[in-house]
């Protein structure tokens, strides 16, 4: 992950089509409404003007320009006269307004707008700078297209979803403006934004691209990074809860299998457990053990190594970290591309016809990412199963609720965290179910012009959904872990896990008797999503976005 967005809300991003980072997109998309400011770079404005001039000169020569003076897709065999070119763009937008499903959340709409504006700022799409400016003015005014989530093949671009963006810019249909649904035209006029009238090529340039898919992808990847960290926090707290063995996190182990993400997870867990009186080690176990003393067999009191969901946790969370390395690189390339067709080469004065609207890279990245992220839910659900179960939790009370004495009238009534673990298992199954690949489901469509498509939009939407489900599992798990470490004695916890426990306790009281916990879960989901859990564990936003790890910060 590259880029240093700092406080984007107080600055204006400059878009040149080549230097936007996923971090900038995620930060801007998730910032406060109306703070998303960006403008095209001077060089971008020049390039856009040059490609418009080339387009105009080719138009004047009656050369058939795909999507400008020809029909779309398979209908490219029909040329129309230049005087119909304006109307053609309008038809294009109208006949794709056929999306289905719920409207994409605001953060997705914002990310889509920023990514599309950046893509058009590269230059070869032959759109006027006004188009990019209008798009960015809407973003700054928080006028967001209502984009139905379903209907894109992720190839031929996100034609259907991006038409909703194009429609908003021309003042058609409805938008969400600071949370309120209203006619696009009213919102534009109120904000002092003149609706666009599309010039030839501008409609297809707006919609023939991967920006909606990439928006989901960037946000899913951002969530995955946060969740990898939260999984390490959970592992540290599970290890304390179970009085587990930190030796599995020793640098020697990980230097001998040096996947960087695995090393980073192990370092993070070690940093989180620094000063813990609950984590044990192989050396501790040796000092406690009774000598074999010539006997042929000895039942050991301690497990010398933990079950996989604790011992292999860095090898599991590390996969997400390592995967993000290449996923972020692919996303960064995608959002800094002309995902459009046709493209205008102003240096050679040539028109190029190609297939950059194919979202295959994002699709494959997301199909992989969602598998590894769902694996975190599986990991945490298994840890939780150990922590709540009196058969495995090393002396913690059954279901993490202190049993009443037999003569207490309430004895045997309380079930504590039993229901929480059931819910976590159900949500884990749902996350795992969502991991079926989308990119393998290519369908030949549109008169077999689009006879191989990416389905990247579905993959990216799945990946974001999986992230949300994993967050739910993590929230349930963290609540149980807060209970477990408190039962062990919070004073024995490491400072970092104690700080996480303190944050959780601000939102959820220790469970002394059966009570509903759904509100507590919702609160902790918010804490994970906003980065509050990570910050409590000691990793600030400024370090996180620049890729520094907890161990680097602690060592500094
Ligand atoms: N992506 C298609 C464009 C297209 C637009 C609208 C409908 C169909 C196809 C292409 O460039 O070939």
Assess whether 66 carries a catalytic annotation.
Answer: yes
In a domain, 2, yes or no: no
pTM for the model? 0.96
Q: Whose CA is closest to atom 8 on ligand 1?
A: 73
Of 209, 234, 262, at which residue does a domain stop?
209
Q: Is 204 found in the same domain as 160?
A: yes
**For residues 247 and 273, is the Cβ–Cβ distance under 8 A?**
no
CB of residue 357 inside a 6 A radius of ligand 1: yes
**For residues 232 and 265, is the Cβ–Cβ distance under 8 A?**
yes
> What pLDDT does 410 receive?
93
Question: Residue 232 sits in which domain range?
Answer: 220-286+300-341+358-439+453-555
H or E element in which residue 145 lies: strand 143-145
Q: Is 202 found in the same domain as 265?
A: no
**For residues 229 and 471, is the Cβ–Cβ distance under 8 A?**
no
Q: What single-letter DSSP state applies at residue 199?
A: P
CB of residue 531 inside a 6 A radius of ligand 1: no
Q: pLDDT digit string (tens) for 170-188? A: 999 999 998 899 999 999 9
For 150, phi then psi, to 5°, come to: -105, 145
Of 209, 239, 265, at which residue does a domain stop?
209
d(CA 387, CA 346): 64
Helices 495-507 and 518-529, packing angle to 10 deg: 130
CB of residue 156 inside a 6 A radius of ligand 1: yes
> What pLDDT does 196 receive?
97
Q: Is 155 found in the same domain as 55?
A: yes
Distance from Cα 132 to the centre of ligand 1, integer Å: 21
> What pLDDT does 2 receive?
40
In a domain, 103, yes or no: yes
ipTM for this prediction = 0.95
d(CA 508, CA 490): 15
In a domain, 183, yes or no: yes
User: Which stretches in the chain have pLDDT values below 50?
Assistant: 1-9
Q: Is 141 found in the same domain as 258?
A: no
Number of domains into which the chain is organized: 2
**For residues 341 and 208, is the Cβ–Cβ distance under 8 A?**
yes
CB of residue 358 inside a 6 A radius of ligand 1: no
DSSP bridge pairs for 144 = 176
d(CA 54, CA 174): 34
Q: Whose CA is closest to atom 12 on ligand 1?
A: 73
d(CA 492, CA 502): 14
Distance from Cα 34 to the centre of ligand 1, integer Å: 33
In a domain, 279, yes or no: yes
Q: pLDDT digit string (tens) for 11-49? A: 899 999 999 999 999 999 998 877 889 999 999 999 999
CB of residue 457 inside a 6 A radius of ligand 1: no
Longest dimension (CA), the chain: 100
């Amino acid at each position: 992950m590259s880029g240093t967005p700092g406080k984007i809300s107080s600055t204006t991003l400059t878009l040149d089509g080549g230097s936007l980072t996923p971090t900038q997109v995620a930060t801007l998309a998730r910032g406060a409404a109306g703070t998303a400011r960006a403008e095209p770079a001077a060089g971008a404005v020049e390039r856009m003007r040059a490609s418009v001039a080339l387009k105009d000169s080719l138009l004047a020569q009656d050369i058939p320009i795909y999507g400008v003076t020809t029909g779309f897709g398979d209908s490219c065999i029909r040329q129309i006269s230049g005087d119909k070119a304006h109307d053609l763009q309008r038809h294009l937008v109208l006949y794709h307004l056929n999306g289905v499903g719920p409207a994409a959340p605001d953060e997705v709409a914002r990310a889509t707008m920023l990514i599309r504006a950046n893509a058009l700022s590269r230059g070869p799409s032959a759109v006027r700078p006004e188009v990019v400016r209008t798009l960015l003015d809407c973003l700054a005014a928080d006028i967001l297209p209502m984009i139905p989530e379903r209907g894109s093949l992720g190839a031929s671009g996100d034609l259907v979803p991006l038409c909703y963006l194009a429609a908003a810019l021309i003042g058609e249909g409805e938008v969400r403006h600071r949370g309120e649904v209203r006619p696009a035209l009213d919102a534009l006029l109120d904000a002092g934004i003149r609706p666009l009238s599309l010039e030839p090529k501008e409609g297809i340039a707006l919609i023939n691209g991967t920006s909606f898919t990439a928006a989901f992808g960037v946000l899913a990847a951002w969530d995955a990074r946060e969740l990898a960290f939260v999984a390490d926090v959970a592992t540290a707290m599970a290890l304390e809860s179970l009085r587990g063995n930190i030796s599995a996190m020793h640098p020697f182990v990980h230097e001998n299998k040096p996947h960087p993400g695995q090393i980073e997870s192990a370092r993070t867990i070690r940093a989180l457990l620094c000063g813990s009186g609950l984590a044990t080690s192989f050396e501790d176990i040796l000092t406690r053990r009774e000598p074999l003393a010539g006997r042929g067999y000895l039942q050991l009191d301690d497990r010398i190594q933990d079950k996989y969901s604790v011992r292999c946790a860095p090898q599991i969370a590390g996969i997400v970290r390592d995967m993000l390395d290449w996923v972020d690189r692919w996303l960064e390339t995608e959002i800094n591309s002309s995902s459009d067709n046709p493209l205008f080469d102003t240096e050679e004065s040539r028109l190029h016809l190609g297939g950059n609207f194919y979202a295959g890279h994002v699709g494959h990245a997301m199909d992989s990412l969602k598998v590894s992220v769902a694996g975190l839910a599986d990991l945490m659900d298994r840890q939780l199963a150990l922590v709540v179960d009196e058969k495995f939790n090393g002396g913690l009370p059954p279901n993490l609720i202190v049993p009443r004495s037999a003569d207490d009238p309430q004895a045997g009534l309380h079930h504590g965290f039993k229901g929480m673990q059931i819910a976590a298992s159900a949500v884990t199954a749902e996350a795992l179910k969502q991991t079926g690949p989308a990119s393998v489901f290519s369908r030949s469509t549109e008169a077999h012009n689009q006879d191989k498509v990416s389905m990247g939009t579905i993959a990216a939407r799945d990946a974001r959904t999986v992230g949300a489900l994993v967050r739910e599992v993590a929230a349930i798990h963290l609540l149980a872990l807060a209970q477990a470490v408190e039962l062990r004695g919070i004073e024995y916890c490491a400072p970092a896990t104690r700080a996480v426990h303190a944050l959780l306790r601000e939102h959820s009281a220790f469970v002394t008797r059966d009570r509903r916990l759904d509100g507590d879960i919702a609160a902790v989901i918010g804490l994970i999503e906003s980065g509050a859990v990570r910050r409590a564990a000691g990793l600030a936003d400024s370090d996180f976005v620049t890729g520094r790890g907890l161990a680097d910060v602690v060592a500094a």
